[in-house]
Structure 1
């Protein structure tokens, strides 16, 4: 039986890993899973159920809701894109706000939440050739992934990209707010007790700070084609 191919991309928020992962999946006709969207969807659920206080802390009652939400993805459309669903409803727009971004690191640090989502992510890997990006894909979810990438970029470059995304959506947000969010998430991701963000063993490093999306994609595909040809 032919083994499914798994390609993992890990890195900080805003480094370009999701954009790169989508392009790789499209080029190879693989399934793409955005694990960051999954944690955003869980954060949205807890926000909508008033389980995150004014200080941004998750209420201990979150444990009682672990079986009350389901996270999955729509089937890819004609453009190869799929969207995250929370309890059967597409929430792609709702999860991309700064308010949700500010809660993701808090929600994702809890082992019970990570355990539930990691299990869902691993199930996808048993069924399909897969491209998956996140914070712990090559270290925890698929430590034996066939190809691993570590995608990086400077904090100011990442903040500028996110700020421009908000502007394109018509959202008036100060650049400093976005940079503060990036720096805060970096600190929490690197220092959480469970599955802290770190470069996976054997990962290929790509710095997107000063190169175009196309150049990033070309570099990644060059590595992928060489490895798959072996």
Structure 2
């Protein structure tokens, strides 16, 4: 590759964005950027402080969080003022609240500032719900990853089972439907497919099949565009 590039992957919760982005970043030797982890971190901090329903307090937390991300063996570790939050940001409580926190314009503004700084270094695989439309509108390659709601619920439910979280499949599906509605209808940075994004429905596919298809597609695009 003759220049440093940005690969941006958007899509709804449970579509496999994180797994696909991590696997692609590892295979390509790129930096992996999990933008969702940042909003989860703010949500966790708000819940821990008991202010998850106080807009002004949440904005204050976002502005003073000093978030940093580190990649360790494919895992994104999240820190706020040098305190690691990685183990606390993927609970059902955070899942059920994160869309309400991430819809706040001032919170998104603070997070996007950090995300853009990371992208300036290039050779990044970024994933989230607005990376192709807001964070990196000029990304070299844009992918919109999706799957059916039932498929996404099953995947997320398995994740919670692995963490010994007490939640039913029906509750997981209801949470996802709620998040889809909030994410796609919010006024600032809504979840939507970028006009120039490649759409990939991975319902029924394994992570390995995802990786093979997306990697080949990316290499094809890179060769054609002389990136």
TM-score by length of structure 2 reads 0.94
Structure 1 counterpart of 2:127, from 116, 124, 133: 133
Structure 2 counterpart of 1:69, from 50, 65, 68: 65
- Once residues 124 and 211 of structure 2 are traced to their aligned partners in structure 1, the CA distance between those partners, rounded to angstroms, is 17
Question: Could you say if the C-alpha distance between residues 201 and 93 of structure 1 is closer, same or farther in structure 2, counting changes exceeding 3 Å?
Answer: same
Q: 1:100 maps to what in 2?
A: 94
Q: 1:11 maps to what in 2?
A: 11
TM-score by length of structure 1 reads 0.92
Q: 1:115 maps to what in 2?
A: 109
- Once residues 143 and 7 of structure 2 are traced to their aligned partners in structure 1, the CA distance between those partners, rounded to angstroms, is 8
SS at match of 1:215: helix
SS at match of 2:76: coil
- Contact 2:40–2:94, Cα closer than 8 Å, also in 1: yes
Listed one character per residue, the Cα deviations across residues 35-88 of structure 1 (whole Å, up to 9, x for unaligned) are: 010000010111112112xxxx334333343432111112x33x3433121221
Q: Could you say what the CA RMSD is over the residues aligned between the two structures, in angstroms? A: 1.4
Structure 1 counterpart of 2:221, from 204, 220, 227: 227
Residue pairs, 1:49-60, within 5 angstroms: 49-52=49-52, 57-60=53-56
- Contact 1:139–1:201, Cα closer than 8 Å, also in 2: no
Stretches of 4+ moved more than 4 A in 1? none
Unpaired stretches in structure 2, ≥5 consecutive residues: none
Q: 2:85 maps to what in 1?
A: 91
- Once residues 158 and 61 of structure 2 are traced to their aligned partners in structure 1, the CA distance between those partners, rounded to angstroms, is 35
Structure 2 counterpart of 1:215, from 209, 216, 226: 209
Superposed displacement of residue 20, structure 1: 0.2
Q: Which moved more, 1:31-40 or 1:62-71?
A: 62-71
- Once residues 72 and 136 of structure 1 are traced to their aligned partners in structure 2, the CA distance between those partners, rounded to angstroms, is 19
Unpaired stretches in structure 1, ≥5 consecutive residues: none
- Contact 1:15–1:151, Cα closer than 8 Å, also in 2: yes
SS at match of 2:64: coil
- Once residues 163 and 63 of structure 2 are traced to their aligned partners in structure 1, the CA distance between those partners, rounded to angstroms, is 33
- Once residues 138 and 64 of structure 1 are traced to their aligned partners in structure 2, the CA distance between those partners, rounded to angstroms, is 27
- Once residues 158 and 59 of structure 2 are traced to their aligned partners in structure 1, the CA distance between those partners, rounded to angstroms, is 36
Superposed displacement of residue 189, structure 1: 0.4
**Matched residue count:** 223
SS at match of 1:166: helix
- Contact 1:4–1:126, Cα closer than 8 Å, also in 2: no
